[in-house]
């Protein structure tokens, strides 16, 4: 028996490590709930007790303990959920980039999310866009806001690889006079979709939901670790922080108030992941933001990576999303090349392996330990014993890396050395594990690994 039966309130969600920090509960009841210890545990604190009705709402809309993928899929797209499709429901899959070079080069990959928002705002199809920028008062910290102009959308571009509780902005959304587009991570979108389908709060002003792919997010301890390497003593010394600065795939970058600039290539900065990953991400099964109208990730393939400039994979899911992309194509605002599902899965095979097979294996291990686990209404089963052993090795590494002593040691190694070591290790690791990971991922569903709606 797992300890899921005892999940009754937000404290249970937090204490049982089910909280994504999506921000919905704090957004719903900002007078009673708050995020504390942002630079470390970044967790929800109860300032004053919720009423029974408030608690019921929090539990209903929280994406931490329960998201019924098949039900959401049926309601949103009118289609049965295929557990071994991996990408989620889609009408079209494209490799794409914004033709406007300013948008493309300012963005994380191909500038697709920025382009969609700017087009909707400029064609007056929406009045505002919920995005994530940097807090002008605390430039080390992310902050959601409603962008109303091209300039504001451009200011919010690029991925932020630290915890972002976007749904804290709910009061502003509810007060907003006009229509909106919204950008969020999968966990944030899950929660928002639950709320929108329930109709208790008037969120019908949100006309489009977009979002990036999301492999994982990191605690702010990752930023502190990066700063230590650069001999910057405190986050308060930061004037500007970027995670994808410069040409695709870009660099993690800190500009200090005293004018020093520190850069680390994205693939080197990835060394932070095993040491600072937000652990709830390891039981999340949504890489490609399956319940958006359109989602976008990096087009990771040598063919595109060697060209730089910025290429995205664009997953068009809803009819509404399809009409919008058709409009952009017709107006020659976006460059698109259609690709097949197998190619799209192959491009992110490591990510799908981590978030589909891996997450369900981790969930099964946690169940055996009688720990609370999220419920998704479906399961991807892995009968391949090599993959199970591989998962145990991987999880042990995650566990070791998150120890204080491991973080301490990694912080002592100069950044140029650690980045290079990490990139090389990652390449070797990817080569060794390629067959285990790719096995069955890119075949047709009927031949694919055992998978079942439960
Ligand atoms: C935490 C995180 C993990 C990711 N993991 C992967 C991955 O494993 N594989 C992969 O292919 N792609 C991943 N991506 C997506 C990728 O980095 C790009 O965001 C994506 O390709 C879209 O690029 P774009 O040029 O269209 O976006 P842009 O035009 O640069 O727009 C980015 C939009 O995303 C919003 N945004 C940025 N960061 C956050 C955040 N933390 N929370 C909420 N909204 C945010 C911004 O407000 C902006 O609207 C990840 C992104 C994030 C934020």
> Is the peptide bond prior to 249 cis by the omega test (within 30 degrees of 0)?
yes
CA of 389 to the centre of ligand 1 (A): 31
Residue 446: pLDDT band with limits 50, 70, 90:
very low
- Which of the pair, 167 or 433, is modelled with greater confidence? 167
Residue 338: pLDDT band with limits 50, 70, 90:
very high
Mutation choice for ligand 1 from 108, 280, 287, CB with most ligand atoms inside 8 A: 108
Q: Which two tokens stand for residue 316?
A: 């068009």
Nearest CA to ligand 1 atom 2: 214
Among 52-61, 146-155, 323-332, 410-419, which stretch is predicted with the lowest mean pLDDT? 410-419
> Residue 162 CA: which ligand 1 atom is closest?
41
- Return the closest-CA partner of residue 85 out of 346, 350, 439, 341: 341
Q: Which residues contact 82 (CB under 8 A, 6 or more apart)?
A: 445, 451
Rounded to an integer, the average pLDDT of 26-32 is 98
> Residue 114 CA: which ligand 1 atom is closest?
29
Q: Which residues contact 218 (CB under 8 A, 6 or more apart)?
A: 161, 162, 163, 272, 273, 276, 277, 278
Rounded to an integer, the average pLDDT of 161-184 is 98
Amino acid 366: pLDDT? 97
**What is the C-alpha separation between 142 and 124, in angstroms, rounded?**
27
> Residue 110 CA: which ligand 1 atom is closest?
25
Residue 154 reports pLDDT greater than 60: yes
CA of 269 to the centre of ligand 1 (A): 16
**What does DSSP assign to residue 445?**
G
pTM of the model: 0.95
Nearest CA to ligand 1 atom 48: 157
Amino acid 4: pLDDT? 64
Q: Tell me which range, 44-53, 348-357, 385-394, is most confidently predicted by mean pLDDT.
A: 44-53
> Residue 131 CA: which ligand 1 atom is closest?
47
Share of the chain above pLDDT 70, in %: 95
Residue 451: pLDDT band with limits 50, 70, 90:
very low
Ligand 1 binding pocket (C-beta < 6 A) is: 107-114, 131-132, 156-161, 164, 166, 183-185, 212-215, 217, 296-298, 300, 312, 348, 351
- Which of the pair, 431 or 381, is modelled with greater confidence? 381
Q: Tell me which range, 16-25, 81-90, 412-421, is most confidently predicted by mean pLDDT.
A: 16-25
**What is the C-alpha separation between 130 and 365, in angstroms, rounded?**
37
> Residue 166 CA: which ligand 1 atom is closest?
43
Residue 325 reports pLDDT greater than 60: yes
**What is the C-alpha separation between 249 and 310, in angstroms, rounded?**
7
CA of 183 to the centre of ligand 1 (A): 9
Amino acid 450: pLDDT? 35
Amino acid 428: pLDDT? 80
Model pLDDT for residues 261-286, shown as the tens digit of each residue: 999 999 999 999 999 999 999 999 99
> Residue 106 CA: which ligand 1 atom is closest?
30
Q: What is the helix (H) or strand (E) element at residue 273, kind and residue range?
A: helix 272-276
Amino acid 2: pLDDT? 52
CA of 158 to the centre of ligand 1 (A): 6
Q: Residue 148 CB: number of other CB atoms within 10 A?
A: 14
Amino acid 1: pLDDT? 41
Q: What long-range pairs does 360-369 form, CB within 8 A, spacing at least 24?
A: 360/285, 361/387, 361/388, 361/391, 362/282, 362/283, 362/391, 362/395, 363/283, 365/391, 365/392, 365/395, 366/2, 366/283, 367/2
> Residue 103 CA: which ligand 1 atom is closest?
29
Residue 444 reports pLDDT greater than 70: no
Q: Which two tokens stand for residue 241?
A: 């922080």
CA of 50 to the centre of ligand 1 (A): 33
Amino acid 332: pLDDT? 98
Amino acid 348: pLDDT? 93
- Which of the pair, 159 or 384, is modelled with greater confidence? 159
For residues 211 and 130, the answer to whether their CB atoms sit within 8 Å is no
CA of 327 to the centre of ligand 1 (A): 23
Residue 119 reports pLDDT greater than 50: yes
**What is the C-alpha separation between 348 and 215, in angstroms, rounded?**
10
Nearest CA to ligand 1 atom 6: 214
Q: Which residues contact 155 (CB under 8 A, 6 or more apart)?
A: 133, 147
For residues 185 and 164, the answer to whether their CB atoms sit within 8 Å is yes
Q: What is the helix (H) or strand (E) element at residue 276, kind and residue range?
A: helix 272-276
Model pLDDT for residues 225-259, shown as the tens digit of each residue: 999 989 999 999 999 999 999 999 999 999 999 99
Amino acid 447: pLDDT? 37
**What is the C-alpha separation between 425 and 265, in angstroms, rounded?**
16
Rounded to an integer, the average pLDDT of 125-140 is 98
Q: Which two tokens stand for residue 338?
A: 């259609």
The alpha-carbon radius of gyration of the chain (Å, integer) is: 21
Across the chain, what does the average pLDDT equal? Answer: 93
Amino acid 354: pLDDT? 93
């Amino acid at each position: 028996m797992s300890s899921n039966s005892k999940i009754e309130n937000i404290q249970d969600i937090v204490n049982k490590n089910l909280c994504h920090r999506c921000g919905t509960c704090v957004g719903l009841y900002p007078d009673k709930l708050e995020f504390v210890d942002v630079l470390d545990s970044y967790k929800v604190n109860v300032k004053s007790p919720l009423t029974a009705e408030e608690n019921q709402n929090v539990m209903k809309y929280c994406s931490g303990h329960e998201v019924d993928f098949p039900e959401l899929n049926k309601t949103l797209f009118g289609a049965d959920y295929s557990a071994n499709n991996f990408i989620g429901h889609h009408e079209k899959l494209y490799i794409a980039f914004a033709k406007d070079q300013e948008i493309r080069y300012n963005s994380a990959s191909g500038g697709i999310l920025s382009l969609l928002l700017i087009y909707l705002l400029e064609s007056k199809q929406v009045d505002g866009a919920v995005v994530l920028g940097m807090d002008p008062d605390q430039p080390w910290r992310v902050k959601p806001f409603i962008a109303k102009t091209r300039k504001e959308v451009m200011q919010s571009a690029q991925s932020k690889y630290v915890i972002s509780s976007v749904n804290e902005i709910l009061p502003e959304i509810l007060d907003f006079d006009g229509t909106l587009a919204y950008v969020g991570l999968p966990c944030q979108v899950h929660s928002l979709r639950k709320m929108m389908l329930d109709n208790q709060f008037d969120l019908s002003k949100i006309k489009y939901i977009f979002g990036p792919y999301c492999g994982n997010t990191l605690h702010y301890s990752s930023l502190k670790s990066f700063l230590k390497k650069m001999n910057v003593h405190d986050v308060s010394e930061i004037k500007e922080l970027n995670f994808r600065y410069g040409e695709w795939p870009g660099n993690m970058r800190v500009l200090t108030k005293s004018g020093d600039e520190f850069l680390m290539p994205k693939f080197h900065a990835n060394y932070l992941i095993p040491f600072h990953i937000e652990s709830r991400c390891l039981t999340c099964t949504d890489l490609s933001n399956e319940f958006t109208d359109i989602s976008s990730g990096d087009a990771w393939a040598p063919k595109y990576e060697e060209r730089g400039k910025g290429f995205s994979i664009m997953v068009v899911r809803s009819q509404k999303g399809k009409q919008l992309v058709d409009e952009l194509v017709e107006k020659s605002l976006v460059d698109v090349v259609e690709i097949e599902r197998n190619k799209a899965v192959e491009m992110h095979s490591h990510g799908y392996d981590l978030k589909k097979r891996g997450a369900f294996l981790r969930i099964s291990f946690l169940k055996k330990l009688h720990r609370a686990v999220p419920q998704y209404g479906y399961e991807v089963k892995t009968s391949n014993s090599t993959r199970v052993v591989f998962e145990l090795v991987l999880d042990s590494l995650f566990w070791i890396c998150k120890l204080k002593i491991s973080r301490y040691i990694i912080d002592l190694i100069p950044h140029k050395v650690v980045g290079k070591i990490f990139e090389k290790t990652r390449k070797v690791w990817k080569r060794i594990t390629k067959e285990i990971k790719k096995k069955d991922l890119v075949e047709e569903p009927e031949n694919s690994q055992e998978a079942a709606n439960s």
